A and B are shown apart, each in its own frame.
Chain A
Amino acid sequence: AQSVTQLDSQVPVFEEAPVELRCNYSSSVSVYLFWYVQYPNQGLQLLLKYLSGSTLVKGINGFEAEFNKSQTSFHLRKPSVHISDTAEYFCAVAFYNQGGKLIFGQGTELSVKP
């Protein structure tokens, strides 16, 4: 069965340091890829998505992600984080062969410390 795995449940990092949040999925079929952010007590906000084309995708708030088809990964990166980036981040994958069903990873809590 298709699945999405976020490899780190919690990532603590100091302000202005770089960060990478990892996401892998298991599928041999074509996919669309998404990263969402959820601030405390709020809903889901789309950070970025990959549908086709360039494998390096730039999103809002200085985030970017790279689609690696051979590794079936879609890691999220930011070169310098701010306190305001503290939030939970979800990777999600839509699988073509399941009618585009969107499957989420378990989430990664990013905690930015001063």
Chain B
Amino acid sequence: EAQVTQNPRYLITVTGKKLTVTCSQNMNHEYMSWYRQDPGLGLRQIYYSMNVEVTDKGDVPEGYKVSRKEKRNFPLILESPSPNQTSLYFCASRSVGENYGYTFGSGTRLTVV
């Protein structure tokens, strides 16, 4: 089944403790991105990647890092999480051509205390 897999689904952590949210897709998509969802703000793009070793900032990149060493994986790294990064996070990959569209992971609900 074509899918984007995020882990973990839920995470509670403490301020300053480094964490990584993993994202993997099995559709051989070149484009992947990360979003955060906050009430009243919709989803905002954090980082995106056009292909392996090609990443760029989205609209709210502060406090986040990403890497794209392999096509299928696009982890989101919070080196020193803060409470304002408490949010719901979604990873997505994109298909192009006639079937243009985005496939989203199930989401990761992160709480930073």
Q: A100-B31, A101-B48, A105-B42 are in contact. Are A43 and B102 (CB under 8 A)?
A: no
A9 CA to B39 CA in the complex, in Å?
10
Q: B67 in the interface, Cβ–Cβ < 8 Å?
A: no
A92 CA to B31 CA in the complex, in Å?
17
Shortest B93–chain A CB gap in Å is: 11
Please provide the chain A residues from 2 to 49 with a CB less than 8 Å away from any CB of chain B in the complex: 4, 6, 9, 32, 34, 42-44, 46, 49
Please state if A104 and B102 are interface contacts (CB–CB under 8 Å): no
Give the number of residue pairs across the A-B interface with Cβ within 8 Å.
Answer: 47
Interface size class of B (residues with CB under 8 A): 20 to 34
Q: A46-B101, A49-B101, A99-B50 are in contact. Are A9 and B40 (CB under 8 A)?
A: yes
A101 CA to B44 CA in the complex, in Å?
11
A105 CA to B42 CA in the complex, in Å?
6
Please state if A34 and B102 are interface contacts (CB–CB under 8 Å): yes
- Tally of chain A residues near chain B (CB < 8 A): 23
User: Which residues of B sit under 8 angstroms from A44, Cβ to Cβ?
Assistant: 90, 104
The 8 A CB mask of B70-113 against A (1 = contact, 0 = none) is 00000000000000000000101010101011101111000000
User: Which residues of A sit under 8 angstroms from B14, Cβ to Cβ?
Assistant: none
Using CB atoms and an 8 Å cutoff, list the residues of chain A in contact with chain B. 4, 6, 9, 32, 34, 42-44, 46, 49, 51, 90, 92, 94, 99-107
